[in-house]
């Protein structure tokens, strides 16, 4: 398997469907690496510890975390299954960004940003990252989230191991759309992830 194939496979089993290969994640999303490798092999997905280490080290989004003792691995965020990452609430920067498809704007400004199939809403610290995320769903646009205002109003934020900011939802009152970001997307849509 290539690095990309292993990364996609790990995203699937560590975020959404561990039961597909017969592994069990603990309450914090960790699985023993030896168990993951053995069950992956049994499911026809052959890769070794060196490949796993390469995937973790080279992931542009730092999707995975290996435990300090080197025996466990988990997805840094993005779970659709219930896990408790053990993150401590943290004061966010003044603004954060959310990339989405232009076709979703009416719905978002009606109901806000909701986790949908994930546990929490994912927010980026910069516009280029948000544009890449939005590009996965159609013509990308970037929403600005008034994160410090949300924090002051009592909303909690967490920062995942890979730097992605998480919150439970974002009300429309804390969202704005700057068309200059839309213009940037049209000039340079970025790679599809």
Give dist(CA 143, CA 124) in Å, integer. 10
pLDDT value at residue 133:
82
Co-location of 48 and 109 in the same domain: no
Confidence of residue 190 (pLDDT cuts 50, 70, 90): very low
Average pLDDT over residues 135-153: 92
pTM of the model: 0.71
**Range(s) of the domain holding residue 61:** 3-75
Confidence of residue 7 (pLDDT cuts 50, 70, 90): very high
- CATH no. for residue 115? 3.20.170.30
Co-location of 66 and 15 in the same domain: yes
Q: Is residue 112 part of a domain?
A: yes
Handedness of CA 47, 9, 19, 157 (dihedral sign): positive
On the question of pLDDT at 109 being above 90, the answer is yes
Distance, CA of 62 to chain centre? 9
């Amino acid at each position: 398997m290539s690095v990309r194939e292993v990364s996609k496979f790990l995203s699937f089993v560590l975020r959404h469907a561990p039961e597909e290969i017969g592994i069990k994640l603990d309450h914090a999303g960790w699985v023993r690496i030896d168990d993951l490798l053995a069950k992956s092999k049994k499911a026809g997905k052959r890769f070794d510890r060196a490949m796993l280490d390469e995937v973790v080290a080279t992931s542009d989004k730092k999707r995975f975390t290996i435990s300090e003792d080197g025996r466990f691995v988990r997805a840094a965020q993005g779970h659709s299954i219930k896990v408790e990452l053990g993150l401590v609430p943290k004061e966010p920067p003044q603004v954060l960004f959310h990339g989405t498809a232009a076709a979703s704007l009416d719905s978002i400004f009606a109901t806000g940003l909701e986790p949908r199939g994930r546990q929490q809403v994912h927010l980026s610290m910069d516009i280029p990252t948000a544009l890449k995320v939005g590009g996965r769903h159609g013509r990308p646009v970037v929403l600005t989230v008034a994160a410090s205002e949300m924090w002051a109003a009592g909303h909690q934020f967490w920062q995942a191991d890979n730097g992605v900011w998480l919150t439970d939802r974002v009300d429309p009152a804390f969202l704005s759309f700057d068309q200059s970001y839309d213009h940037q997307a049209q000039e340079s849509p970025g790679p599809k992830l």
